[in-house]
Structure 1
Amino acid sequence: MKLLERILKYQIITSLCVLTLGAVLFYLSVDYLIDREVNKELMRSKAKVSWQLRHIDELPVYILQLGDSLQLDQVRYPGQMAIVERKLFNEFENEYQPYRQLIFYERVEGAWYRVTISKLLAQRKQLLEAVVMTVTFIVALLLISLLLLNSWLSRRLWRPFYKTLRALDSYQVEQHEVLTFPKSHTVEFEQLNLSVTQFTDRLAATYQNLKEFTENASHEIQTPLAVILSKIEGLFQDESLKESQLVALSEISEAANRLAKLNQALLLLTKIENRQFLAGTEPISLVPIINRKLRDLEDLIEQREITVKTDIEPTGPVMHPALAEVLVNNLLTNAIRYNVNGGAIEITLNAGKLVVRNTGAPIHIEPELMFERFRKEGTHSASLGLGLALAKTICQVNGQTLTYETDGPWHILTVTW
């Protein structure tokens, strides 16, 4: 969820909670004030009625408001004063309505009377509801206006930030691009843009230096390695060498060849990670690549007596043809190298998936750890421990997924796109 959407969500939730709580508290407050005012009116009416019962023979009607009523009933004994609420029939409205009654007792000319003063509550309740609804509507309208204004202001204020974010998303270091931004009126965003510009400037320079170093290192290392291998080949032609010297020379030759392969693999890894291979726009078919690699590895497959089964369709991902060659070669080489004599390999290629299954000895580590550089299971001297790491890197930079699973004796490598 985006930051602005999250802020707006929290603001809406907070506003609804505040509005609900405020409406409830306002309703309770107004209801309490109205109740208190009704009780005060009842007590004022009681004082007037008590005084008039003692001093005037006839009660005037002006002591009560419209809708209220006064009732006198002679009783034998007085009781306790009480305030109660009841529904009584209102002759003016021709319906039952809520009343609040004050019941008290007065002695007049030696006789006790129960005096009941009834106050109509319907109008007060209607007033309460009207006031609460009006104020709640005004507050809700104000909150909605503030939320809309805040959302509009937030989007406008954060617009430079999202421009910077989109520029970073589309940034490609291999194009030696240095990001620049228009001047912002917000100091924080101006500082952010300046930092991003300086960072991409340093990143482009570092990338260029790394690229030049990789190319120079490859050239400088390959040249002495070629000289070493050439000298070794020449020494092999010397018939005066002893057997022990030939053995040592053979070990040196093997180490030099291994170093040359390691240099080529690391150089290829660096080029792939630096995205020096363009992916292209059209998917390539892996079928001819798989068939060609199987023919190249045919002697090794026959030597290990490995059975190969294929179920392949003319499909494949969008990627550089050279990287597709390396990917297929590493997967098949790994399936042969870590197989068992008389084992099997199954290759399945269909829409969106390439699966290479091979029998082999069980591994004693998590399968995903096999994608780490220089990680290998067993003691295969010919293995550099970079084959699966190279395949994983190729898939990552091209948007594919490479997974490693085991199922009994089967080792399963799956590429999906």
Structure 2
Amino acid sequence: MKLLAQILRYQLVTSMVVLFLGAGLFYVSVRYLIDREANKELFQSQVKVRWQLKHLETLPVYILQLGDSLQLEPVRYPGRSFIRETSMLNLAENEFQPYRQLVFYERALGQWYRVTISKMLLQRQHLMEAVVMTVTFIVTVMLISLLVLNSWLSKRLWKPFYKTLGKLDAYQIQQHETLTFEPQKTLEFDQLNQSVTHLTSRVTTAYQNLKEFTENASHEIQTPLAVILSKIEGLFQDESLTESQLVALSSVSEAANRLGRLNQALLLLTKIENRQFLAGTDPINLVPIINSKLRDLEDLIDQRELSIQTDLQPFGPVIHPALAEILVNNLLTNAIRHNVEKGKIIIILRERILSVRNTGKPLNANPEQLFERFRKESTLSASLGLGLALVKTICEVNGQNLKYDIDNEWHVLTVSW
């Protein structure tokens, strides 16, 4: 709804600007018309006053229009005529009211007079304010009605779009489904839905082909690898081989075993990224898994004379059991493999956190880089460089956070959920 809210916000701002500018322009226009009408009446009164001064033997004392006033002041010399607005005391109302005045000079009875004709504007201002307020109210109601109508229409018109967006958000490529939509009256949305249907169809086909290729490639690689390893084992039984041949054969055997492990690790990564391991709804208790893996790795721990300290509570994340075992196994294997002789490992399991701490050598690289595939601290290591990459992928797929910290000699891998 962000796009719709943004559109409505722009419409509201535009409407308010138009309303204020329109109200101001209308006020100025009405004020101009009233001033022009008042000036016209003042000039008509001026003509009457001049006629009276020329044809009557007495000075005029009033003008017929109600509320107007006439003042004549004798002066020695004439001046320039002008029109102004001022406030004057209305004796009948006993308050100051707005007037528009025309000041001009006229000679009568051998004397120059400064003639001031004042026209009361109070009723006209009241009329102007009433007209402006009425029109502004009508325009405001119209704008609000248009905004409400536009908001309702926008929500109705954009409903198919958000429905399509919701289906895309819920789309699971692992379900091998192609999104289908009902025909829409809006041509653009109907074309969008058709494009989404074609796109998801192609994506599903490509995903299925990639999945089959990965599985077939892994299976096909495993078969020749098994044959190679079997032949190597048979050659080791040949007593006629020289020492140099045995050394070369050992290198081939090690490379073949490494290739097999690499194939299995990459296949596992692909399956995890393709979300072929779907988690349940209940958390997995990691305590039995940790204890089981520590027993499996007991020989390697004793060989390196490592001390293990555990502080475990029966908690764990929502995760597939197989992925939980891989996660724990890789964390523990990493802590053992990259530890120092007679080092320490501390395993802490709490309600929302699993922490594996181990002593080790200082790192020469950024710890975050160790989560990349085939990234190893030392090129001489027998590790494939995929252990932490697997851990990172498992955490990303299941919504957990993985963090690598270094605290003096301690290397800390923390999984939180």
Q: Deviations over 1:131-156 (max 9, x none)?
A: 22222222222222222222222212
AA at the equivalent of 1:179? L
Q: Deviations over 1:8-35 (max 9, x none)?
A: 1111111111212222222223223323
**CA spacing shift, 1:124–1:389, aligned 2, 3 Å:** same
Aligned pair count? Answer: 417
Give 1:383 shift.
0.8
SS at match of 1:93: coil
Distance 2:59 2:146 in 1: 57
Could you tell me the TM-score, scaled by structure 2's length?
A: 0.93
The yes-or-no answer on 1:81 pairing with 2:94 is no
Give 1:387 shift.
0.9
Q: Superposed, which structure 2 residues align to 1:318-337 within 5 Å?
A: 318-337=318-337
Alignment-derived partner of residue 229 in structure 1: 229
Alignment-derived partner of residue 208 in structure 1: 208
Alignment-derived partner of residue 185 in structure 2: 185
Distance 1:402 1:63 in 2: 95
Distance 1:285 1:369 in 2: 30
Give 1:366 shift.
3.0
Could you tell me the TM-score, scaled by structure 1's length?
A: 0.93
Alignment-derived partner of residue 17 in structure 2: 17
Give 1:367 shift.
2.6
Distance 1:131 1:216 in 2: 83
Q: Deviations over 1:101-145 (max 9, x none)?
A: 222222111022222211112222222222222222222222222
Q: Superposed, which structure 2 residues align to 1:124-273 within 5 Å?
A: 124-273=124-273
The yes-or-no answer on 1:95 pairing with 2:115 is no
Alignment-derived partner of residue 282 in structure 2: 282
Distance 2:381 2:206 in 1: 36
Q: Deviations over 1:326-380 (max 9, x none)?
A: 0111112112222233433332221222222333333333332222111111124
Distance 1:323 1:355 in 2: 17
Give 1:278 shift.
1.4
Distance 1:279 1:271 in 2: 13
Alignment-derived partner of residue 291 in structure 2: 291
**CA spacing shift, 1:310–1:45, aligned 2, 3 Å:** farther
Give 1:51 shift.
1.8
**CA spacing shift, 1:119–1:411, aligned 2, 3 Å:** farther
Q: Superposed, which structure 2 residues align to 1:299-318 within 5 Å?
A: 299-318=299-318
Distance 1:148 1:246 in 2: 86
Distance 2:19 2:121 in 1: 27
SS at match of 1:413: strand
Q: Which blocks of at least 5 consecutive residues in structure 1 are unaligned?
A: none
Q: Which blocks of at least 5 consecutive residues in structure 2 are unaligned?
A: none
Alignment-derived partner of residue 350 in structure 1: 350
Q: Once the two structures are aligned, what percentage of the paired residues are identical?
A: 72
Give 1:211 shift.
2.2
**CA spacing shift, 1:184–1:70, aligned 2, 3 Å:** same
Contact 2:80–2:104 at 8 Å: present in 1 too?
yes
Contact 2:62–2:69 at 8 Å: present in 1 too?
no
The yes-or-no answer on 1:108 pairing with 2:117 is no
Alignment-derived partner of residue 67 in structure 2: 67
AA at the equivalent of 1:197? T
AA at the equivalent of 1:366? N
**Range 16-25 or range 386-395, more displaced:** 16-25
Distance 2:59 2:90 in 1: 21
**Range 108-117 or range 345-354, more displaced:** 345-354
Contact 1:402–1:414 at 8 Å: present in 2 too?
yes
Give 1:270 shift.
1.1
Distance 1:258 1:359 in 2: 27
**Range 218-227 or range 73-82, more displaced:** 73-82
Distance 1:34 1:54 in 2: 30
